[in-house]
Structure 1
């Protein structure tokens, strides 16, 4: 009995112990379950937030792809490769911090604005040029209209003359044989008048064609912005060697500068060459380089010496192009009454110029004026004894130059601006010789001065006394 109670007590103790252990274990497991559940809920919440953030980021990435021209299905490596190609093509001159589509668009927009501004300026210039061409064309059309009106009047006069002739011929057929001679003479006069008027019409048609060609040439000059050459410097002095009478200039082979070209030298501060006074004349003797040549000093003034930077000018040569000239008669340089046209002709051709037309001293015109002719060099004034044929030929040449807009320049002004000077004097021997040409000359042009009354003619002693002999 005691053993049974002891076993019962032991069983009861074990049962209570197990119950307490199970209760504690159940409590502990329940607390862990609650914590695990809380952690699971927190993890699910974070996962939901992360998924929402991922979806937001993905939507933003898809939206950004669409903004830059891609679809949502395009892959980032493809987009990156295309982006690098775009930056190399359109943004190569940008820095690394500016290599983005936004910076690229901003810079391209600025470049487009600058291009639009330049395009507007160009459009304004084109409009201005078109207006100038329209003015020239309007003037030409006015002249053409005048010539057409003259032609119509000549045609009307011709029809009137023909009608009068037909009337006279009807009257003459009714007259006797005594009037046949008179009729023949009248018919001859009429035919001569018709030939004269036909010749006038042909001349007018030729003049219209020439004016049209001149208008086309002047329009081309306006398009090329060609400015007058009389007031534009052609080069500058680079160095001066007064001892060797040599200078170096900044034009040469690349400027198509020919040897023996003469230049007039002006002060570097001169702004208007048309009224400026030249300080020296030089002549090219050697082409050294593309923009370098050596020249000798023909004439200068030691009181106003040449300096580096002084400007050069000649009307017979322009850098990179040829000037066209025309010559009248009477090209007498030294005033001896003889033509020096060959000197002027050589001066122009040796400097690369072209002579389009030349009027000789007999009144014959060789060549013709064109729209490319820039200058007409006028010789000395005619005298009272000049033949009428020569007078009419020069007047016709001057009128033609005025019609074509060709600038006229006197021979003396041309020689002065071309830097020409006469190297030798002409001395006449024999009965017509001038004693002044044979005076003794001191070196350097120094002239002797008077010594006062020290050296005077003297008489021998007693020369004033009278003698029987």
Structure 2
């Protein structure tokens, strides 16, 4: 292109020179007419040169047009054609980049579909190198560009061939796999048909069984409706019976309460004797009573003795107290613990009574509120429980004050007595300083007083008789100066006999007593 430009410039210069020479020739001819013949020859020579120069210029223009047409530029001017060629080369670079991306995508899809082999990768690599060589050519021209493009086309042809070969191999593999899959599908279809036939047969069988079950369900539904009707009738009858029983129980409870209230009006006739004294031994300080093991008596039980002619027991004047030391099948032996009056000793026929035990059923008690046994201002309900248990009774219900335990047990009509401690009747012997009570303590005390009233009311409705703590302690033979002994877990009968029976005297003691009793001469 540089040579063409130079030729064009040369042509223009030649034309300019030609014109100049013509002018000079004309002037020269005008002024040098005299030398016309010599100048005419020179003019002919110059005209021939100018003609040759014109032909050369025309030939150069024709060659420029031919090269421009060969290159394919539309612009006629050199600079415009050069710009057009540069722009086109840039477009070619972009299209080659798109071609590389398309080749990479096609190869990736082929490899994902299962294409294998290094030939495909080598062809792709060569195509990439051809594109890079075209794009990075330092002295890029028409021939080099065509060489790189031809090289790229060859590599792309190799890529296409490899892709076609891989596609053919994949197609064959796919056809083989399709054939195998078709055979397996045929097998599965046959199995499915067999399974469908079996399913239909099973379905028919289940349908028949379902019809049988529906018939049974209808029958069972009919039976269930009948049963529900019977249950409803029985429920109605049961409700009526329950209402009647509730009414009857309420009436019986009222009768029991009325009988107990009538019995309480007789201060001296309150209970039945539990047994009688059958033998008294003042030497060993023992008594025999007709209380036996089969009646539920056991050693260490405390009992109160009343006069045989007492109008009713328990009275306020017992003769004393005994503790059973031996319990037999026909009679039991008791140790005299206390005699209230020496002029009223225990005799045969006196009544044996336990406020917490009966021959057939142990007496049941309910402890309500604070229980101060020794009048020290503190709750002693545990000591009272031990005394009741030692006498053969049971504490069925317990409602302690705050900070003395939790409510336990349940009230019932089987409870014989509920025990309360009235501080007005048995005031404490000393004042107990409790300090300033907190709000929680005051609230707990209020709740306790409310519960106390509710329990007393419930006990009265159940027909349970009241008993003061002082009265119960008198029946139990309690003495403030004697410590409360818990329930014995075992009894050593020989040791008890050694402690209660007189020790046999030795011969020396007998001789000494005989000597003392012998009359003095």
TM class by shorter chain equals 0.3 to 0.5
With the length of structure 2 as denominator, give the TM-score of the two structures: 0.37
With the length of structure 1 as denominator, give the TM-score of the two structures: 0.41
Structure whose residues are more often helix by fraction: 2
Bigger CA radius of gyration: 2
